Each structure stands twice: as C-alpha cells, then as structure tokens.
Structure 1
C-alpha cells in the first residue's frame, strides 16, 4: 500500500510540475514581448530626439506609451508634445 501511495504522489507532482513549467513559459513569453516593445519604443524616441524638431523626454512613461503603441504611440506622443499637453 505504501508503494502505491508514493506512485500516486509522484504522478500528481509530475502533472503539477508540467503545468507549472507551461505557465512559466507562457508568462516568460509575455514578459519578453513587453520588454522587446519597450526597447523598440525607446529606440524610436531616441531617433526622434536626434531630429532637429522639439524633443520628447525619455522616461518610463513615454517609453511605455511608445512601446505598447509602437509607431502609433510615438505619433501620439509627438502630437501631444506639439499641442503642448505636456
């Protein structure tokens, strides 16, 4: 009876482990995607600030807006700066 209990516990732990690894891989993929978008937003803002127009400050808020919004997010930041909203 003791051997059967150990086998059942082992199977349960294996199932929980496989599900846990799957969840971690899914969350890691999302985190990597967010990080990649933030890096792209920072690069777009950096390129915009090289141009001789008005400057957009590079901080965590503008990088997040540019990162999640992509080119449209940078366009929104440029429009907001041109209208004097910040």
Structure 2
C-alpha cells in the first residue's frame, strides 16, 4: 500500500512539474519577445537621433512606446513629432 501511494504522488508531481515547465517556457518566450522589442526600439530611436532630421527625445515615455511598439512604435513617434503633437 505504501508503494502505491508513493507511485501516485510521484506521477502527480511529474505531471505538475511538466505543466509548470511548459508555462515557464511560454512566459519566457513572451518575456524574450518584449525584451527584443525594447532593445530594437531603443536602437531605432538612437539611430533616428543621429540622422539630421528632427530629434526625438529619449525619455521614459518614448522608450515605452518604442519598446512595446518596436518598429511600429518608433514610426508612431516619428509621425507624432512630424505632426507637432509633442
């Protein structure tokens, strides 16, 4: 009886462990994607400010827009600056 109980607990722990690792891998993939977007947005803002056009200030707001938006976020910032919205 004791062996059967240990086996059942082992199987339950194995299933919960596999489920937990699967969730962690999915969350890690999302976190890596957000991190790549943030770095890419910062690099694009830096490159845009090197160009002789109008400058976009690098602050918390522009970093968040460029980070979470990536290339599209930088495009929105450039368009907003060109239209004089900030």
Contact 2:39 2:67 in 1 (8 A): yes
Matched, 1:2 2:14: no
Counterpart of 1:69? 69
Matched, 1:55 2:55: yes
Aligned residue for 2:85, secondary structure, equals coil
Counterpart of 1:80? 80
The farther-off stretch of 38-47 and 55-64 is 55-64
Number of equivalent positions: 86
* Aligned counterparts of 1:76 and 1:54: Cα–Cα separation in 2: 14
Counterpart of 1:27? 27
Q: Which runs of 5+ in 1 are unaligned?
A: none
The farther-off stretch of 70-79 and 8-17 is 70-79
* Aligned counterparts of 2:6 and 2:61: Cα–Cα separation in 1: 52
- 1:67 is displaced (CA, Å) by 3.0
TM-score by length of 1: 0.88
